[in-house]
Amino acid sequence: DQQVKQNSPSLSVQEGRISILNCDYTNSMFDYFLWYKKYPAEGPTFLISISSIKDKNEDGRFTVFLNKSAKHLSLHIVPSQPGDSAVYFCAASSYGGTYKYIFGTGTRLKVLA
Amino acid sequence: DGGITQSPKYLFRKEGQNVTLSCEQNLNHDAMYWYRQDPGQGLRLIYYSQIVNDFQKGDIAEGYSVSREKKESFPLTVTSAQKNPTAFYLCASGPGQGAEAFFGQGTRLTVV
């Protein structure tokens, strides 16, 4: 049972436009959400996170929105740049004595120059 | 340099052999994790450890074993019982609740 879902395997966006990547989750106990960026044959690198007590967090070109009632989060990248082309993973975690991160299946973003 | 080091980067194994993947961190993190990446399936959790000498099974622990004898080290053994071991393996560490995990560069294991 996939607790964290990224339903769009791929997304293409023109350079300078907004990229919106979506993620849905099923476990209401998740209290911390993260986005990672990954290039082929490399480890993921952390981008941005958000706690369940917030609904928005911003860091430069990256903004994460959390809608707890819909169990949905999104990552906005504005403006998109060719270097943003990568696979993006969302992840969720909950604290219940054993802290772990559950990842989605990823969305491949391609920013066209 | 602070970070997580996985070795080797590429590993070939014959069917029926056990193989151990190394993961070392000098970030002073309590928690460490092993994930497996297959095409189209994201990152799946194999094992994780919150403290030394303690670890828990993740979603796909069958055919794998780990140890956590030191805070800095969390080696993963892929045993002959793992039916489909060819994959990209990622190790991570983190300080715990409300913080991000940091990943190593990965080990690509191929069974020949």
Q: Do A102 and B56 touch (CB under 8 A)?
A: no
Which residues in chain B are closer than 8 Å to A32, comparing Cβ atoms?
Answer: 97-98
Q: Do B103 and A43 touch (CB under 8 A)?
A: yes
Q: Is B70 exposed, middle or buried (0-12, 13-18, 19+ CB in 10 A)?
A: exposed
pLDDT at B27 over 70: yes
Q: Helix or strand or coil: residue B83?
A: coil
Which residues in chain A are closer than 8 Å to B44, comparing Cβ atoms?
Answer: 103
Q: Do A103 and B105 touch (CB under 8 A)?
A: no
Quick one: average pLDDT of B67-96? 94
Q: Do B42 and A98 touch (CB under 8 A)?
A: no
Question: What is the per-residue pLDDT across B35-56, written as a single tens digit (0 to 9) for each?
Answer: 999 987 789 999 999 999 999 9
d(CA A59, CA A49): 10
The confidence score (pLDDT) of residue A58 equals 97
pLDDT at B65 over 60: yes
- Residue B73 DSSP symbol: B
Quick one: average pLDDT of B2-9? 91
Cβ atoms within 10 A of the Cβ of A84, count? 18
For chain A, report the end-to-end CA distance as a whole number of angstroms.
Answer: 38
The 3-state secondary structure of A8-31 reads CCEEEEECCCCEEEEEEECCCCCC
The confidence score (pLDDT) of residue B41 equals 79
Which residues in chain B are closer than 8 Å to A49, comparing Cβ atoms?
Answer: 100
> Residue-wise pLDDT tens for chain A (113 aa)?
789 999 999 999 999 999 999 999 999 989 899 999 999 889 999 999 999 999 999 999 999 999 999 999 999 999 999 999 999 999 999 876 567 899 999 999 999 99
Closest CA to A5 of A68, A82, A89, A62: A89
Mutate which: A93, A100, A102, A107, vs B, most B CBs within 10 A: A100
d(CA A44, CA A89): 8
Q: Helix or strand or coil: residue A83?
A: helix
Q: Tell me, rounded to whole angstroms, the distance of Cα B10 from its chain centroid.
A: 14
The confidence score (pLDDT) of residue A97 equals 57
B11 in Cβ contact with B17 (< 8 Å):
no
